[in-house]
Amino acid sequence: MPNSKPKKEPPPMSADALNPLYPAIAPYRTGQLPVDDIHTLYWEECGNPDGVPALFLHGGPGAGLSPQHRQFFDPAYYRIVLFDQRGAGQSTPLGEALENTTDLLIHDIERLREQLGIAQWLVFGGSWGSTLALAYGEAHPERCTGFVLRGIFLCTRSEIDWFLNGIRLFFPQEHARFVADIPETERGNLLQAYARRLFSGNPAENMRAARTWSRYEGSCLHLLPHPEVAETFGSAAVGLGLGRLEAHYFLHDAFLSEDQLVRNVDRIRHLPAVIIQGRYDVVCPPVSAWRLHEAWPEASFQMIEDAGHAAFEPGIASALIAATNQFKRDGTL
């Protein structure tokens, strides 16, 4: 049911005074959407209730929303819809992997769209949000007016292996902390080693592993160090959802067949899209964005030369806002 008063906001996950974000806004409507016997999703609407609909898909899986995510869109023009995916943020239960698959997330998006009476929307997603945006679009192209995609993650096995092992080539200290609690005998398969700790029957062990996993990712997001972001990622509120659900989705190859998102891109090639990628993105290396662009040459491709992975890096934030403004100028409906 909708709520007239929004819940207390979590702290921002990242900030930079140079970012050209739109001014901070509060939701004009929020709600809780029960999607099955386990999961209830938090959702919110911001901006212009009569504006052009835009859907924001957060990363992770499991990272949840930040209030700043509302600020990539002109609130006078867009009807901005945001929600916490299953097991993330203000959705409940936090970090729950049961009944949590990509197909179910796509079904959730459709339920939310129908509940809000929206026929079509611009789909905006970064990192895992780009994965889900592509999967949703390929399943329901008729519901999409276009895409803004950032820090592309196709959830292939090579990308998962890179996250778990390859990042140490650029962030050796951070990777050393990531594996510190894993015995040498288990480090040959870090995903399985973490899964044993994240999904054991010991809540304290689950939380410790999840926060270590999440802090590792948060330490590698930016071109330049942002230790405050790593600490936010390592908090209980963010860590449990991010750590458990990333491992869960990695264990199951995101419930996608290998390279499914690239193979099925013809389903959405007729739609306008912007692909934005940080040149020095170590979490989601640029080769994935380039592979997507090769399969989708009609999409605009922008390599941000002074950025890593985070959406709030100044160059990436500028490009994302330029993209939503371009859709505004072109008209998406």
Q: Are 320 and 150 in contact (CB under 8 A)?
A: yes
Could you state, in order of their start, the residue ranges of all structural domains in the chain?
2-156+255-330, 157-254
Residue in 29, 87, 33 with CA at minimum distance from that of residue 237: 87
Residue range 186-237, pLDDT digits in tens = 999 999 999 999 999 899 999 999 999 999 999 999 999 998 998 899 888 8
The whole-number pLDDT of residue 96 equals: 97
| pTM given for the model | 0.93
- Beta carbons within 10 angstroms of residue 101's beta carbon: 16
SS3 labels along 39-106: CEEEEEEEECCCCEEEEEECCCCCCCCCHHHHHHCCCCCEEEEEECCCCCCCCECCCCCCCCCHHHHH
Q: Are 43 and 15 in contact (CB under 8 A)?
A: no
Rounded CA gap, 85 and 65, in Å? 9
* CB within 8 Å of 160: residues ≥ 6 apart: 191, 250, 253
Ranges in the chain, pLDDT < 50: 1-2, 4-18, 332-333
Fold of 2-156+255-330: Rossmann fold (3.40.50)
From the number of C-beta atoms within 10 Å of its C-beta (0-12, 13-18, 19+), residue 333 rates as exposed
**What amino acid positions are annotated as catalytic residues?**
127, 281, 309
Sign of CA dihedral 28, 79, 135, 311: negative
* CB within 8 Å of 332: residues ≥ 6 apart: 52, 120, 122, 145, 146
Cα 217 vs. chain centroid, distance in angstroms? 13
Hey, is 31 helix, strand or coil?
strand
The whole-number pLDDT of residue 332 equals: 47
- Beta carbons within 10 angstroms of residue 118's beta carbon: 15
Hey, is 4 helix, strand or coil?
coil
Rounded CA gap, 243 and 251, in Å? 12
The whole-number pLDDT of residue 5 equals: 40
Reading the block at residue 251, the tokens are 């264990």
* CB within 8 Å of 85: residues ≥ 6 apart: 41, 57, 58, 60, 61, 62, 64, 91, 105, 108, 132
The whole-number pLDDT of residue 11 equals: 35
* Distance set, CA 80 to CA 60, 71, 246 (Å): 20, 10, 26
The whole-number pLDDT of residue 1 equals: 46
The whole-number pLDDT of residue 56 equals: 98
The whole-number pLDDT of residue 329 equals: 87
H or E stretch including 277? strand 273-278
